[in-house]
Amino acid sequence: MTVKRGREFLQTPGPTNVPERVLRAMHRPALDPTGEAFRQLALDCMAGLKPIFRTEGHVFLYAANGHGAWEAALVNTLAPGDRVLVPETGNFSVGWKTMAESLGLVVDELPSDWRHGIDPAAVEARLAEDKAREIKAVLMVHTDTATGITSDVAAVRRAIDGAGHPALFMVDAIASLATTDFRMDEWGVDVTVAASQKGLMLPAGMSFTAAGEKALAASRGGGRMARNYWDWEARLVEAPSYRWFCGTGPHSFIYGLIEAMAMLEEEGLDRVFTRHRRLAGAVRAAVRAWGREGPLEINAMVESQQAHSITAILVPEELKPGEMRQVCLERFQVSIGGGLGRLAGKAFRIGHMGDLNEPMILGALAGVEASLRTAGIPHAPGGITAAIESLTEAPA
Residues 145-204 that bind its own copies (CB under 8 A): 195, 197, 203-204
> Which residue, 87 or 351, has its beta carbon nearer to its own copies?
351
Query: Which residue, 72 or 159, has its beta carbon nearer to its own copies?
Result: 72
Cβ proximity to its own copies: between 134 and 242 the closer is: 242
CB nearer to its own copies: give 197 or 309. Answer: 197
Compute the distance between CA of residue 211 and CA of residue 193 in angstroms, rounded to an integer.
9
CB of 102 to its own copies, least distance (A): 5
Which among 82-90, 157-165, 213-221, 388-396 is the span making contact with its own copies, rule CB under 8 A? Answer: 388-396
Q: What residues between 301 and 340 interact with its own copies by CB under 8 A? A: 329, 331-335, 337-338
Helices 321-330 & 358-375 angle (0-180, nearest 10): 120
Q: Which CB sits closer to its own copies, 300 or 365?
A: 365
The residues near 359 (Cβ < 8 Å, ≥ 6 apart) are none
Q: In the range 208-267, which residues lie near its own copies by CB under 8 A? A: 225-229, 231, 245-253, 263, 266-267
Number of H helices, E strands in the chain: 13, 15
3-state helix, strand, coil in the chain (%, to 5): 45, 15, 40
In angstroms, give the least distance from the CB of 210 to its own copies: 18
Total residues interacting with its own copies, rule: CB under 8 A: 106
**Coil, strand, or helix at residue 161?**
helix
- Please, what is the minimum distance in Å from the beta carbon of residue 2 to its own copies? 7
Burial of residue 131 (number of CB atoms within 10 Å: 0-12, 13-18, 19+):
exposed
Q: Which stretch binds its own copies (CB under 8 A): 31-39, 116-124, 146-154, 164-172?
A: 31-39
Give me the 55-84 binding string for its own copies, x by CB under 8 A, dash otherwise: -------xxxxxxx-xx--------x----
281 lines the binding site for its own copies (CB under 8 A): no
Task: Indicate the DSSP class of residue 225.
Answer: P
Could you tell me the smallest distance in angstroms from the CB atom of residue 66 to its own copies?
A: 6
Choice between 42 and 123, CB closer to its own copies: 42
C-alpha 376/C-alpha 356 separation (Å) is: 29
Greatest alpha-carbon pair distance for the chain in Å reads 64
Q: Which of 235, 275, 278, 308 touches its own copies by CB under 8 A?
A: 275
Residue nearer to its own copies on the CB measure, 251 or 346: 251
Q: Name the burial class of residue 102, with classes exposed (0-12), middle (13-18) and buried (19+) by CB atoms within 10 angstroms of its CB.
A: exposed
Q: Are 142 and 171 in contact (CB under 8 A)?
A: yes
**Is beta strand 206-211 parallel, antiparallel or unpaired with respect to 191-195?**
antiparallel
